[in-house]
Amino acid sequence: MSHKIGAIGALLALLVACDPFETTNGQVDKGVEAMQEGNAEEAALHFEQAREELPESGELHYNVGTAYLAAEQYEKAEEALARSVPLAAGPLKAQALANLGLARFKLAMASQEEEKRKELLTGAMSALQESVILDPAAEAPKKNLELVLLQLYPPCDKREDEMESNNSAAEAKEMSETVAKQLLLCPGNPDYFGHELKKGDRVTLKVSTTAQPDVGAPPVLVQDSEGRTVVSENVLASSRELKFVAEGDGRYLFSLSSQDEEERPYQLEFAVLPDCASMPDPFEPNNSRAQAKPVEQGTAQHRVCPGDEDYFVQPLKRGESIWLQAQAQMVQGELSVEILDSAGNIVSKAARAGGEQSGTEAQGAENQLQYWAVFLDSREEADYFVRIAGASPEAEGAVTLAIMVRPSCPEGDDELEENDSVEDASDLATKAAEQAAKAGAAAGGAAPGGQAPGQMAVQAPTGQPGQGGGTGEAPIEMFLRRCEMDDDWFWLVVKPDAPQQVQIAFQHDKGDLALQVFEDGQDEPLLESNQSSGAQNGEGVVLAPAEETKYLIKVTGGADQSNFYKLTVSPPQNNDQNGQNNEENEDDKEQQDKEKKDQEEQKQEEKKPIEQAMDQLDKEKRPNIEAQKEMRENMPTATGKPW
């Protein structure tokens, strides 16, 4: 294929001094002739042949490179011109650098790898800058340098975001589509977004920027459907949050603009929470005991609004007990959960079981909280009530209420009975899977965890049945009961690469429970947690063995202590903290063991030698648990003339 020289400069007629004679090389002559005829590929072949016959020189490499450049063989052009530059001087060096910059630019535009593209553009910029310094009068290198710089550092309007064009109210893009997008505001080029709102909608808009702190995020103007200003904010902070309540229905307009010459990269986080009273609640009205609604199928999903009380009714027979769980995603504030008798007297007030931050509706951050309430052994057949309200006037959230009713002990014990001894200990993984399958097949609705009405709840583990532990992402969760004089035993196998956290959650003031862990075959507990209080409703330990170990778990309490509890087995959420807690538990146990040992040593003084030896064998120490645009249409041109 023949390539025209076009904008590529003509080649240098290379003269070679050969002492004592001065002559012109034939291949060079043929190459120059081919270039003059517009046949760049043929010219390159002749110049390559001359490179094999003549001593290395800047002129020869320049001719080879410029021929390849005209032939659009940019890699070969770049290689030859790069060899020419250090050997050339004066005007020749300026022209070699100019064409080297062009070759690198062409390669950059063809590259699909961003890092390689940047590297080539940077090399092109460097070569062209040096060429301009050597020959300031040459126009082509200056123009080419400008184009390279436009690729390396494009102006703001060439780098605008995917939401463009949104430079006017008529072009406003949907605000909800900005989530997680990197946006860019250019000087003199405002961005507009819109969103349909209903009266009472609560809007939160967070604007943040990665620009320098003294530049700040873009100013924001919010207008309603009538063009009235709702929010006008011009504080140049790196990150800020705007909140307002929609005063009417319609499309609201959000505009961001810059009053200076700074460009601002930014992100928007947009959340809309409807007016609480407008959200569906199938139990309303239930704002008094007279309007109390029954909790069908054991569960009720409803919403607590500011200043609103919700009542539910639950009939009990004599001797029956209630265990209540309220799981809430709070927009703000906390809950007050109480069990009332038929006369409206408080017989149990729920305790906070703990909470953690979670993702929420409208992309806002809510508190996910749990509350427990227990009422044991009704003395009469009567209706009891559950009252749920905000603990403060502004409290609001979505609540899932689960109520379980059980007969008195021992009839009202949980479905894992009889598991009252080491020999009858329940395999947690297998039992959890069995109960989950049974509950899933039950007719009607289900309470959290999948239990049928009146049954204790359970969530199946992701571990395999018979493996004795929930080593997958989903925890084992079982809602159980300890009756008087009736300890509960369980077992599970824990592997060294899958430590497990064992927890029991219960309402402390309704009956204190303790958690003990034994190694299989041992009589003394390896770990023990017995620190619950009115402020800490539960116990927990972490099992992190050095090798695969079978553990026995005992839920116990005083002889007269009866209570409901939630047993959870899950991977530790914070290994460092859990390890520290484990060490503290082990230290406490070691201290207890030492004190006990000292006491027993005193008693041993009165024993016979053989009895002392046998006691010592029974009390040996157990092992501890080891712990990441577009170019102009003008193409750059090369510079050069016959040398």
pLDDT digits (tens, 9 = 90+) for 204-239: 999 888 777 777 778 899 999 999 999 887 766 678
68-88 confidence digits (pLDDT tens): 999 999 999 999 999 999 999
Is this prediction's pTM over 0.85?
Answer: no
Question: What's the rounded Cα separation, in Å, for the pair 83 and 61?
Answer: 6
pLDDT at 643: 38
Note the pLDDT of residue 216: 75
Residue 340's pLDDT is what? Answer: 94
Q: Which residues pair with 131 in a beta bridge?
A: none
The secondary element (H helix, E strand) that includes residue 100 is: helix 90-110
CA gap 304, 265 in Å, rounded: 39
The mean pLDDT value for 175-180 works out to 88
Whole-number pLDDT of residue 6: 31
Residue 446 has pLDDT above 50, yes or no: no
The lowest-confidence range among 76-80, 411-415, 620-624 is 620-624
Three-class SS state of 595 = helix
Share of the chain above pLDDT 90, in %: 41
CA-based torsion, 327, 331, 334, 340: positive or negative: negative
Average pLDDT across the chain, whole number: 78
Q: Quick check: 467 pLDDT over 80?
A: no
pLDDT at 541: 93
- Phi-psi group of 163: left, alpha or beta (phi > 0 → left; psi -120 to 50 → alpha; rest → beta): alpha
pLDDT band, very low/low/confident/very high, at 601 (cuts 50, 70, 90): low
The CATH number of domain 162-274 is 2.60.120.380: yes
Looking at residue 219, what is its pLDDT? 84
As a whole number of angstroms, the distance between CA 204 and CA 401 comes to 29
* Three-state DSSP state, 529: strand
Position 364 scores a pLDDT of 37
Secondary structure of residue 315 in the 3-state scheme: strand
Question: Region 377-384: what's the mean pLDDT?
Answer: 91
Segments making up each domain of the chain, as ranges: 15-157, 162-274, 278-406, 471-596
pLDDT at 450 over 50: no
> What CATH code would you report for 278-406?
2.60.120.380
What CATH superfamily classification does 15-157 receive? Tetratricopeptide repeat domain (1.25.40.10)
Task: Check if 15-157 and 278-406 are the same fold.
Answer: no
For residues 362 and 421, the model is more confident at: 421
- Residue 594 has a pLDDT of 64
Written as one letter, the residue type at 77 is A
Strands 488-494 and 426-427: parallel
Question: Would you say 214 and 208 are in contact if contact means Cβ atoms under 8 Å apart?
Answer: no
Mean pLDDT of 167-186: 89
**CA-angle at 557, arms to 519 and 540, nearest 5°:** 55
Residue with tokens 């593209």: 117
> What pLDDT score was predicted for residue 598?
63
SS3 199: coil
Q: Which fold has domain 471-596?
A: Jelly Rolls (2.60.120)
At 475-498, the pLDDT tens digits run: 788 888 898 888 999 999 999 999
Buried b (16+ CB within 10 A) or exposed e, 253-281: bbbbbbeeebbbbbbbbbbbbbebeeeeb
The pLDDT-based confidence of 54 (bands split at 50, 70, 90) is confident
Six-digit token pair at 465?
């049945």
Q: Give residue 468's pLDDT.
A: 41
C-beta atoms surrounding 117 within 10 Å: 17
- pLDDT for 459 beyond 80: no
Please name the helix (run of DSSP H) or strand (run of DSSP E) that holds residue 141, with its range, or none.
helix 139-152
pLDDT at 619: 39
pLDDT score of 585 = 52
Identify the CA nearest to 397 among candidates 353, 339, 445, 337: 337
Record the tokens describing residue 409, joined without a space.
Answer: 């002990």
Q: What pLDDT is attached to residue 603?
A: 45
pLDDT tens track for 114-142 = 999 999 999 999 999 999 999 999 999 99
Residue 490: its H or E element: strand 488-494
Q: Return the structure tokens found at 533.
A: 């209080």
Q: Which amino acid is at 64?
A: V
Choose the weakest-confidence range: 13-22, 141-150, 184-193, 194-203.
13-22
What is the average per-residue pLDDT within 515-538?
Answer: 89
- pLDDT average, residue stretch 356-385: 68
pLDDT of 618 strictly over 50:
no
pLDDT at 189: 86
Is 579 a residue whose pLDDT tops 60? no
